[in-house]
């Protein structure tokens, strides 16, 4: 089965897109920017209003830029607003059906590429969604509150966050083996970590995000766009280039994937209770998910319930998230107190605000 990427953008969007620059418009132009420079940092003014926290979370907008996204994210410039703390827990978990016609998923999407992976241009998604009245309405809420995080409402999955690239680098450097592994991209957002695992021949890859809009508008399109052979050898290593406008879709790859939205405790219940065939994960990959200590309990329990007893978690995080209060050291302390997992720092990225890759495993495994 083959399909053609459909980039039928409405006229208005197309006009507005011109302001994004040449590379935003075409998938094939994205091919030219396969270096890690496909993203840039988010830098917003910090309001002095009470109750508005600032933090050094650094999301990379999926807009075409040329600079290195990681190097671009210096802590002093990367502050974004986050609205007042409120516990998440209102979003019930559900599984998302994969549409039969995969090409529909890519309609009105503009793709870019980074490190050999496709991802949707977030500005175009935002434009499309902000014109629609949408059930979750996270785009309008995020724009109107000038925030990349609205606790309990929107948890940041529309953007690609810096540590995703750190973890991708680490997985490559460590030559992580995915063959026959069941993998969870936890708090997936764009889903690049899960897509990497899929490309490296994982047996199954599950994607989870808090917001269903993120799964439908970002994660699913990204996975679909990467499940092509680029007109080549039947693998998915090369995305379609300028010469290969028709991408050959590989349905078997999509059949390895499942998509879920909802709060972590709810997700865990859905997998354990509503899913007789569920087998625990060999690998859980998670990036920039420990910014809020209020979520640690749910995160810890979800991992302990869903990870195979010999499984491993690879977690990427900044040292500290100003304003929200989470970070690597406070998370490790929490884990230590619970006494279920052991943690090991496997990589430190010492640029600006230090970032870490942490490995977690059960203390008692076979
Ligand atoms: C800052 S975003 C990071 C997205 C992506 N991993 C990345 O690095 O680009 C944090 C992600 O964690 C997930 N998340 C945060 N808190 C959550 C919660 N309490 N329940 C479920 N998911 C949550 C959201 O889905 C969100 O996409």
pLDDT digits (tens, 9 = 90+) for 121-147: 999 888 888 766 667 888 888 888 888
Ligand 1 atom 12: the closest Cα is on which residue? 187
Residue 127 confidence (pLDDT): 85
Ligand 1 atom 5: the closest Cα is on which residue? 189
Rounded Cα gap, residues 188 and 259, in angstroms: 10
Quote the DSSP letter at residue 192: H
Cβ atoms 94, 271 nearer than 8 A = no
Q: CA nearest 58: which of 313, 359, 320? A: 320
Which segments of 174-244 does DSSP mark as H helices, in order?
Answer: 192-199, 212-214, 220-226
- Give per-residue pLDDT as tens, 30-78: 322 222 223 333 322 222 232 323 334 555 544 333 223 333 333 333 3
Ligand 1 neighbours (beta carbon < 6 A) = 88, 155-157, 160-161, 163-164, 187-190, 209-210, 263-264, 287-289, 295, 298
Cβ atoms 174, 199 nearer than 8 A = no
- Give per-residue pLDDT as tens, 330-361: 999 999 999 999 999 999 999 889 999 999 99
Cα 52 to its chain centre, rounded Å, is 25
- Pocket mutation for ligand 1, best pick of 156, 215, 305 (most atoms within 8 Å of C-beta): 156
Q: 154 CA to middle of ligand 1, Å?
A: 9
- Give per-residue pLDDT as tens, 99-121: 888 888 998 899 999 999 999 99
Q: 277 CA to middle of ligand 1, Å?
A: 25
- pLDDT surpassing 60 at residue 285: yes
Rounded Cα gap, residues 168 and 165, in angstroms: 5
CATH number of 3-362: 3.40.50.150
Residue spans per domain, the chain = 3-362
- Pocket mutation for ligand 1, best pick of 122, 158, 189, 321 (most atoms within 8 Å of C-beta): 189
Cα 41 to its chain centre, rounded Å, is 15
Q: 244 CA to middle of ligand 1, Å?
A: 34
How large is the angle between the packed helices 328-338 and 296-306, nearest 10 degrees?
A: 60
Calculate ∠ Cα 150-153-154, nearest 5°.
60
For residue 149, give Cα distances in angstroms to 40, 201, 361: 18, 33, 29
Ligand 1 closest atom vs CA 161 = 9
- Give per-residue pLDDT as tens, 175-231: 999 999 999 999 999 999 999 999 999 999 999 999 999 999 999 999 999 987 653
């Amino acid at each position: 089965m083959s399909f053609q990427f459909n980039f039928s953008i409405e006229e208005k969007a197309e006009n507005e897109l011109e302001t994004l620059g040449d590379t935003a418009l075409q998938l094939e132009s994205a091919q030219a920017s396969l270096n890690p420079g496909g993203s840039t940092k988010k830098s917003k003014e910090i309001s002095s209003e009470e109750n508005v926290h600032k933090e050094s979370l650094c999301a990379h907008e999926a807009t075409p830029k040329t600079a290195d996204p990681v190097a671009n994210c210096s802590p002093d410039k990367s502050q974004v607003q986050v609205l007042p703390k409120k516990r998440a827990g209102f979003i019930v978990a559900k599984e998302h059906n994969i549409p039969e016609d995969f090409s529909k998923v890519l309609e009105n999407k503009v793709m870019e590429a980074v490190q050999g992976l496709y991802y949707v241009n977030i500005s175009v998604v935002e434009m499309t969604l902000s014109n629609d009245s949408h059930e979750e309405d996270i785009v309008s809420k995020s724009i109107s509150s000038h925030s990349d995080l609205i606790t309990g409402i929107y948890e940041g999955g529309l953007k690609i966050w810096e540590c995703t690239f750190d973890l991708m680098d680490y997985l490559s450097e460590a030559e992580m083996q995915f063959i026959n592994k069941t993998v969870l991209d936890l708090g997936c957002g764009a889903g690049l970590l899960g897509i990497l695992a899929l490309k490296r021949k994982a047996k199954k890859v599950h994607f989870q995000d808090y917001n269903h809009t993120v799964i439908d508008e970002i994660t699913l399109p990204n996975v679909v766009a990467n499940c092509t052979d680029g007109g080549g050898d039947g693998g998915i290593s090369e995305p379609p280039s300028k010469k290969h406008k028709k991408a050959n879709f590989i349905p078997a790859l999509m059949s390895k994937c499942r998509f879920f939205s909802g709060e972590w405790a709810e997700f865990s219940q859905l997998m354990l209770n509503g899913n007789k065939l569920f087998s625990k994960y060999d690998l859980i990959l998670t990036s920039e998910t420990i910014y809020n200590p209020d979520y640690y309990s749910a995160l810890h329990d979800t991992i302990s319930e869903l990870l195979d007893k010999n499984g491993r978690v690879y977690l990427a995080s900044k040292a500290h998230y100003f304003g929200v209060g989470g970070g690597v050291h406070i998370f490790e302390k929490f884990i230590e107190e619970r006494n279920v997992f052991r943690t090991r720092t496997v990589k430190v990225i010492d640029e600006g605000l230090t970032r870490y890759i942490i490995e977690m495993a059960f203390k008692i495994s076979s």
